[in-house]
Every structure is written in C-alpha cells, then in structure tokens.
Structure 1
Amino acid sequence: MKASAIAYRPVGLALGALSGMIASTAFKQTWKLIEGEGDAPDATDEDRPWRQILIAAAVQGAIFAVVKATVERSGAQATRRLTGTWPG
C-alpha cells in the first residue's frame, strides 16, 4: 500500500463522517419539502404506507450517494493539490 494511501486513511474517515452529517441534514430538509412533515418514515413505521416509505428510502439513498461522492472526490482533489499524488 502506498504511503499516500495510508496517510489519506484518517482524512477519508473524517470526510466520511462529515458527508454523513451533511447528507442527513440535506435529507431532512428535502423530506420537509416533499411531504411537509418533520420526520421521514422508518421502514418499521406501522402508520405509514409502503409508497411513502419506499420514496423516502430512495430519496435518502440518492442524497447520501451524491453527497458522499462529492465530499470524497473533493478530498481526493485537495490531497492531490497538497501532495502531488492521488490518494488510493
């Protein structure tokens, strides 16, 4: 394993945590726009219909994937600018 990949590992973990927080906030705000409700349904929420639960899961997954990719790519580009090598 390259030294740059080892050095990037803690940065990647921190970026992963940051992307999770950003995605969670973005999903909550998006869900309020979609449904006008405060909380998105859980899969085990007995009072919510299947359709609503599946839509919430799809929206949440899409938001998390886009935010994660954006944050990780930005971190990798910043690492290249600082070190001259691409992490990975």
Structure 2
Amino acid sequence: MSQKNDRDRREAAGSTSAKILYRPFGLVSSIVGGVVAGQVFRQVYKRVAPGHPDDPPKPLESEYGLKEILLASLLQGAIFSLVKALIDRGGARMFQRWTGEWPGD
C-alpha cells in the first residue's frame, strides 16, 4: 500500500514540476500564437471581404455597420481560438517529447 502512495506522490511532484517548467515555454508559444493568428486573420479577412480595406473593421469605426463588425469579430475569435489550440497542443506534445512528462492535467 505504501508503494502505491509513494508512486502517486512522485507522479504528482513530476506533474507539478512539469507544469512549472512548461510555463515559460507556454508563454512564448502563446505570444507566437497571437502573432500567427493575427496574420492568418488578416489574410482570411482580405479574401472573405474583398473591396474592404486591408484591416478589418474595429467596433468604434462608424463607417461600418454592426453586422460587418460582428462578423469580423466572430471570424477573428474563431481563428484565434483555433490557432491557440493548435499551438498549445503542439507545444505540449513537444514538451512531452523533450522531458517525458505532459505539462497539463
């Protein structure tokens, strides 16, 4: 019974250390993900809304209707969420390959 408790404690300690070691890696990947997502969104917006300026409408720009602003925001949120999930998951897998421990859970 005590062997199981020792193993559980070691796994918990390993998991905690993996989370701590992953934090800087996760922070850098989040920043890179935000930059990548912004570039992807701009390219997608150019193709989805031809004839519009290169930059999507911002909520306080009066020359755009609410519908255009909401659609641009919806598209931006979906792209950012998708890119973040891909980069977070890929970063966690890479971290696991390097260290042998999964940084989450």
| TM-score when normalising by structure 1 | 0.96
Where do 5+ consecutive residues of structure 2 fail to align? 1-12
Which one of 18, 28, 39 corresponds to residue 4 of structure 1?
18
CA distance in 1, matches of 2:95, 2:63: 47
The letter for the 1-side match of 2:65 is P
Larger radius of gyration: 2
Give the percent of matched residue pairs that are identical in Structure 1 and Structure 2. 38
Partner amino acid, structure 2, of 1:32: K
Count the aligned residue pairs.
88
Q: Gaps (5+ residues) in structure 1?
A: none
The reply on whether 1:43 has 2:45 as its aligned counterpart is no
Counterparts of 1:1-88 in structure 2, within 5 Å, are 2-36=16-50, 37=52, 38-88=54-104
Structure 1 residue 57: deviation in Å? 0.3
Distance 2:59 2:100 in 1: 45
State the distance in 1 between where 2:23 and 2:97 align: 17
Instruction: Give the CA RMSD over aligned residues.
Output: 1.0
Q: String of CA shifts for 1:25-44, please: whole Å, max 9, x gaps.
A: 00000110011221100011
- Matching residue's letter, 1:25: Q
Deviations 1:27-66 (A, max 9, x none): 0001100112211000111010111000000000000000
Misfit runs of 4+, over 6 Å: none
Structure 1 stretch displaced more, 37-46 or 52-61: 37-46
* Mapped partners of 1:39, 1:10: distance in 2: 31
